[in-house]
Structure 1
Amino acid sequence: MSMEAKDPEMLIADAAVQESITEEQQQFFLDNGFLVIRNVLRGAELELIQAEMMKLVDQGAAGMAGDPDYSYGTGVKSGGRILKRIEYVIDKSDPMKALLGQPFILRSVEKLQGRNFIPTWDSMVLKMPDEGIIVPWHRDAEVPEGADPAKPIFNVDFYLDDADLRSCLWVIPGSNRWSQEQAALRCKREGFDTSDAIPVPMRAGDVILHDITVVHGSPSGDGNALRRTVYYEFRPGDTEAEFGPHTLEYLSLKQHMLVDCLERRKAAGYAKGETAFEYRPHGAFRLHGVRKPPTYRYAHADYWRQG
């Protein structure tokens, strides 16, 4: 298979007028490894989340020495220590708990992964003003051999700020269908070569679904504005149960956390009038009673499988 991707005719979903992604949009995602969704966050919810996440940015920028949830890199303009990532944002903010219950997103996740989906990672990736740190070409991870290809593992990328050509994601359409060897070879290419890639400019409140195996990245900033992107990853429960990397205990804990976040969303004033998502796992993943989670920060390292 050639590694020179062709630009697809972009399909864009709109959460302001749809209940979930359509079958055509679902197929676009499966074929290309990404899908843009406009207007997921709007009005009071967007403003509240922007303000809440700015508090975390300010804390991190001031320095969180010794806190493993805050990661730093070298700024492209100052050469200084610049905040680039914050982990476990659901634990750190109540509006981010309610965001996990966003119905358009969860209906779309269920459409792609089935009823037994599990929320896994949650983090915020940053490009600080004028200091946008390059994100080299990469895949987030590889899918375990033998996993159902019809149920992709993917991230939901919530954009809290506009992203133009100085800060947006670049993606290689269809690279989610490449072999590991093809992807590794492309990612080794020198420089931030965009000859086979397309830019994906975004507006605040928009979302990208991106498959963990699609090759993507973003260049270093040159006069870039602040860009905050919250990432919620979801995985099919049967894939996780069979292949990991998390233990079965982790899956159950995150299911109960999701149910709690769904109840929190129902109580949010900005969610009035929307049709709440109903989480209906079945089979081995069916929930028998609901427990209030003792925490919203289940550190991955505490739940890795052995061997």
Structure 2
Amino acid sequence: MTARQTHMLVADARQQEVITDEQAQYFVENGFLVIRNVLAGEELKLVQADMMKLYEKGMAGVADDPDYMYGKGGKSGGRVLRRIEYVIDKSDPMKALLGHPFILRSVEKLQGHNFIPTWDSMVLKAPDEGIAVDWHRDAAVPEGCTDPRPIFNVDFYLDEADLRTCLWVIPGSNRWSADRARERCARPGFDTSDAIPVPMNPGDVVFHNIEVLHGSPAGDGNPLRRTVYYEFRPGEIEAAFGPHTLEYLSCKQQVLLACIERRKRMAYSAGEKPYEYRPDGAFAVAEPKEPATYRYPHDRYWRRRQTGD
């Protein structure tokens, strides 16, 4: 594989409390930003261990549970685990991870203080059977939305991602038209001529815009690669365009507040400056309370269920 050479700006969570203005601008322009050393020590070990339990459960085979998703293995042709949904609900360390102060301060810098956590999933490549992820956009900015703030995923890497398994991105493709993006995705094979690889170490993070073109090769002899995705959206965009109902936004705000409090009780958070979530206006939270659940299925809160769209 080859890739055009480009400068890749990198942040380091050990040396800063939030991404810098320069790093924020790089992300806005290029659609992705690498942040090293977000997870380390005891927290990284706990997160890895809990996600290994979910991985092993999924690899053993889970019947009638839509949260565990499978694909066709490129080598064996068999059923191979590729994704697990709602990991926050399934793991206490993942709840505390949602409250990570560096991440939340950086999300606020990019989206404003009324941001909402939306998706939480783990995507993976099984050892020696990694399923290729073709070039794609995760989603599109809602039609008619002129708000320039980015919608993006925070990707927590739990394992090393080398050239056999790492993410490839096309810098700046988050600003392309829909037609140009479709044309690029239609190219045959996993063409990396205009892309760059993003190798990662355990504990590193990538912010990636939902509209940046990205993908990953199938892998051959690859080790296990687990990546947890937490998506965030500006509350104003969600309220105006969806896809979720206003009730969903309120529920997820309570989840976020509860996870921030959980993080404060974790031994590994000693010495951290906790993040203070202070949404205002229509997004102000009158009274934080323990959520009834940490799993709010998207299909129960799609706005079209109420509007008929």
Range into which the TM-score falls when normalised by the shorter chain: over 0.9
Does the 8 A contact of 1:148 with 1:239 survive in 2? no
Residue 158, structure 1, aligned to residue 166, structure 2: no
What do the CA deviations read for 1:98-127 (whole angstroms, capped 9, x no partner)? Answer: 000000000000000000000000000010
CA deviation after TM superposition for structure 1 residue 77, in Å: 2.1
Map 1:258-273 → 2, pairs under 5 A: 258-273=256-271
Give the Å deviation of 1:74. Answer: 1.2
Match in the other structure for 1:20:
18
Contact 2:87 2:120 in 1 (8 A): yes
Task: Map 1:225-304 to 2 at 5 A.
Answer: 225-304=223-302
Alignment correspondent of 1:119 = 117
Equivalence map 1:134-145=2 (5 Å): 134-145=132-143
Question: Equivalent residues in 2 for 1:17-96 (5 A)?
Answer: 17-96=15-94
Q: Deviations over 1:44-81 (max 9, x none)?
A: 00001000000000000000011000000111222211
TM-score w.r.t. length of structure 2: 0.97
Show CA shifts across 1:181-221 (max 9, x none): 11111111110000000000000000000000000000111
- 1:172 equivalenced with 2:205 (yes/no): no
Q: State the Cα RMSD in Å.
A: 1.0
What is the deviation of 1:7? 4.5
**How much has 1:148 moved relative to structure 2?**
4.1
Q: Answer yes or no: is the 8 Å Cα contact 1:130–1:221 preserved in 2.
A: yes
CA contact (8 A) 2:4 2:196 kept: no
Gaps of 5+ in 1: none
Residues 7, 173 of structure 1: 8 Å contact kept: no
SS of the equivalent of 2:180 reads helix
TM-score by length of 1: 0.97
Q: 2:145 corresponds to which letter in structure 1?
A: A
**1:9-43 Cα distance to aligned partner (Å, 9 max, x none):** 11100000100100000000000000000000000
Counterpart of 2:292, as a letter, is P
C-alpha separation in 2, matches of 1:10 and 1:259: 33
Query: Match of 1:146, SS?
Result: coil
8 Å Cα contact 2:174/2:211 also seen in 1: yes
Q: Distance in 2 between matches of 1:97 and 1:81?
A: 29
Q: Identity percentage over the alignment?
A: 71
The alignment partner of 2:35 has SS state of strand
Q: Which runs of 5+ in 2 are unaligned?
A: none
| Shift >2 Å, 4+ stretches | 5-8, 145-150
Q: Post-superposition shift, 1:149?
A: 4.3
Match of residue 210 from structure 2? 212
